[in-house]
């Protein structure tokens, strides 16, 4: 089977399409970065909401997280891109794609942040309050920095998944890496060369991030044990 695949792989075509794959990869990275910003901001708010004493805030955060995590990302993308115009909200494909990925990521990051906050010893909050800090300042300056440190590897893994999930945006005609591969296949009728190229470029983008997350996690384990 491997020999059959390699026989269909056209090296000359692959070298020719590398610039297109690079352009698609750059677009994928841009989309992912903007989505990460939205997801991190929203996830922090939702994570704090999950443990809030405010009932409305807590139930809204819980409902949002359960709804987003319980529905397919592809459906969420279509709702934002095709559904919002029915309410007069017209977003371009790129804006809709970034928003959909960011809103989806926020739900998963929210659960991670919640776990991070709960991992901080309760005495930290008590100490902050005894120093005269209110709840907001204690969370901002004492609890959240420690929480982020505890869950940074998990957040890193979530963003690696987000980068790969950006391939779903090809369904709304965003010219990211997967869409580029489909276009090349449509014009050359050679499936293996562009699709293997797409897979290779995803690997090139995700592997260093995976190694970085693994390094940070191992480093912190050493620091905790020392």
Contacts of residues 4-10 at CB distance under 8 Å and 24 or more positions apart, as own/partner, are 5/192, 5/196, 8/190, 8/191, 8/192, 8/193, 9/192, 9/193, 9/196, 10/190, 10/193
User: Does 68 or 136 have the greater pLDDT score?
Assistant: 68
Task: Assign domain 2-225 to its CATH superfamily.
Answer: MetI-like (1.10.3720.10)
Answer whether residue 123 shows pLDDT above 90.
no
User: Does 138 or 222 have the greater pLDDT score?
Assistant: 138
Q: Is 50 helix (H, G, I), strand (E, B) or coil?
A: helix
Give one word for 92, left, alpha or beta, with left for phi > 0 and alpha for psi -120 to 50. Answer: beta
Phi, psi at 101, each rounded to 5°: -65, -40
Q: How far is it, in rounded angstroms, from Cα 21 to Cα 92?
A: 23
Q: How far is it, in rounded angstroms, from Cα 161 to Cα 107?
A: 13
pLDDT tens digits for range 12-37: 888 899 999 999 999 999 999 999 99
pTM: 0.89
pLDDT tens digits for range 59-107: 999 999 999 999 999 999 999 999 999 888 888 899 999 999 999 999 9
User: Does 162 or 139 have the greater pLDDT score?
Assistant: 162
Q: How big is the chain, counted in residues?
A: 226
Q: Are 51 and 112 in contact (CB under 8 A)?
A: no
What percent of the chain is predicted at pLDDT more than 70? 94
Answer whether residue 222 shows pLDDT above 70.
no
């Amino acid at each position: 089977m491997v020999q059959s695949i390699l026989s269909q792989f056209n090296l000359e075509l692959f070298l020719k399409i590398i610039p297109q794959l690079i352009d698609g990869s750059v677009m994928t990275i841009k989309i992912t970065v903007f989505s990460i910003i939205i997801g991190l901001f929203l996830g922090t708010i939702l994570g704090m909401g999950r443990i809030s004493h405010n009932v409305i805030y807590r139930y809204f955060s819980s409902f949002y997280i359960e709804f987003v995590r319980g529905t397919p990302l592809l459906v969420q993308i279509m709702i934002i891109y095709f559904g919002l115009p029915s309410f007069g909200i017209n977003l371009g494909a790129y804006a809709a794609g970034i928003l959909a990925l960011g809103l989806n990521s926020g739900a998963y990051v929210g659960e991670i942040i919640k776990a991070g906050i709960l991992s901080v010893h309760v005495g930290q909050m008590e100490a902050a309050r005894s120093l005269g800090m209110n709840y907001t300042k204690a969370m901002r300056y004492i609890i959240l920095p420690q929480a982020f440190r505890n869950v940074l590897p998990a957040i890193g893994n979530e963003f690696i998944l987000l980068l790969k999930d950006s391939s779903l945006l090809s369904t709304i005609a965003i010219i990211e890496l997967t869409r580029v591969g489909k276009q090349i296949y449509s014009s050359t009728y050679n499936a293996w060369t562009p699709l293997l190229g797409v897979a290779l470029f995803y690997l090139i983008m995700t592997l260093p991030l995976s190694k970085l997350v693994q390094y940070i996690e191992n480093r912190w384990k050493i620091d905790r044990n020392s």
